[in-house]
């Protein structure tokens, strides 16, 4: 099995659910960290959803506040998240074009 550390980024995420990462076929992924930065001059709220390939869609965080000039780390530190093939991490915000997302992962193929 091959292991590869990667970073995935998305800018200007807004009110629509946006896929930050989709786990490729034949791959298992460990999310090491997810950072969501508020890029606006107002406080916002963020949602992070795991769309599971078995049909369950769950919130990792829902309506989590991110103050002006701050960031939220919904996955990181002692917490890790495992993804299987076709699972998707999606992010949305309470405001248009307000979040920059950085996802640090370990892909196992």
Domains of the chain, start order: 3-108 (2.60.120.1330)
The mean predicted confidence, pLDDT, of the chain is 97
- Cα separation, 67 vs 37, in Å, equals 9
Task: Quote the percentage of the chain above a pLDDT of 90.
Answer: 95
pTM, entire model:
0.94
pLDDT at 1 exceeding the cut of 90: no
What is the per-residue pLDDT for 103?
A: 98
What is the per-residue pLDDT for 70?
A: 98
pLDDT digits (tens, 9 = 90+) for 50-92: 999 888 899 999 999 999 999 999 999 999 999 999 999 999 9
**Per-position b or e across 8-31, b if 16+ CB within 10 A of its CB:** bebeebbeebbebbbbeeebbbbb
């Amino acid at each position: 099995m091959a292991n590869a550390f990667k970073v995935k980024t998305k800018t200007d995420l807004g009110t629509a659910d946006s896929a930050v990462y989709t786990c490729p076929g034949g791959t298992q992924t460990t999310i090491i960290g997810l950072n969501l930065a508020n890029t606006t001059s107002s406080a916002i709220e963020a949602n992070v959803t795991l769309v599971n390939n078995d049909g369950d869609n769950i919130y990792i965080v829902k309506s989590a506040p991110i103050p002006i000039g701050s960031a939220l780390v919904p996955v990181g530190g002692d917490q890790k998240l495992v993804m299987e093939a076709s699972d998707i991490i999606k992010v949305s915000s309470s405001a248009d074009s307000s979040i920059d997302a950085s996802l640090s992962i370990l892909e196992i193929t």
